[in-house]
């Protein structure tokens, strides 16, 4: 099922939702299979310096892992195409106006925006307001 490519249609159907969990970003040089089995990451990215993992804060604390910040995830309900353009820049531009940083992960079906835990409610309002634009 192909995703939407028209930015106006994507924004009208953005349907963001705030996930309940809190997340942290960590890095490791451990074997990926071991990390997946023990930490069950929400997202990963393999970089030259190591594997970046986004994991539940509770799991990080249970494994005594160090992290710098705590984040919430806003998942977009719209299925945007990986070839669409303008969605991420529109979201980040609006969040920047409110001094909210964002870390974006795009999956095949949905985009996921990680924002500072204490600014998550405001970020959700900002992203939701894009449906009216």
Within a domain: 94: yes
- Give the mean pLDDT of the chain: 92
How many other CB atoms are there within 10 angstroms of residue 114's CB atom? 24
- Which pLDDT belongs to residue 84? 87
> What torsion do the CA atoms of 107, 126, 87, 16 make, to the nearest 10 degrees?
40
Residue 1 lies in a domain: no
Phi/psi at 57 (nearest 5 deg)?
-60, -35
CATH of the domain at 117: 3.30.2130.10
pLDDT at 25 over 80: yes
The model's pLDDT over 53-95, given as tens digits with 9 standing for 90+, comes to: 999 999 999 999 999 999 999 999 999 988 888 999 999 999 9
Asked if residue 133 is part of any domain, the answer here is no
Sorting pLDDT into bands at 50, 70 and 90, what band is 2? confident
Q: How many domains does the chain have?
A: 1
| Per-residue model confidence (pLDDT) at position 133 | 65
| Domain region containing 67 | 7-128
Residue 38 maps to a domain: yes
Burial environment of residue 73 by CB neighbours within 10 A (0 to 12, 13 to 18, 19 or more): buried
């Amino acid at each position: 099922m192909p995703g939407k490519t028209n930015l106006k249609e994507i924004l009208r159907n953005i349907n963001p939702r705030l996930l309940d969990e809190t997340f942290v970003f960590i890095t490791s040089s451990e074997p990926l299979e071991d990390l997946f089995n023990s930490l069950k990451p929400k997202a990963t990215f393999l970089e030259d310096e190591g594997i970046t993992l986004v994991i539940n804060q509770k799991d990080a604390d249970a494994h005594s892992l160090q992290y710098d910040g705590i984040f919430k995830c806003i998942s977009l309900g719209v299925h945007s195409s990986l070839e669409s353009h303008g969605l991420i820049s529109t979201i980040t531009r609006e969040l920047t106006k409110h001094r909210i940083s964002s870390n974006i992960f795009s999956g095949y079906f949905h985009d996921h925006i990680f924002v500072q835990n204490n600014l998550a409610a405001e970020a959700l309002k900002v992203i939701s307001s894009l449906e009216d634009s």
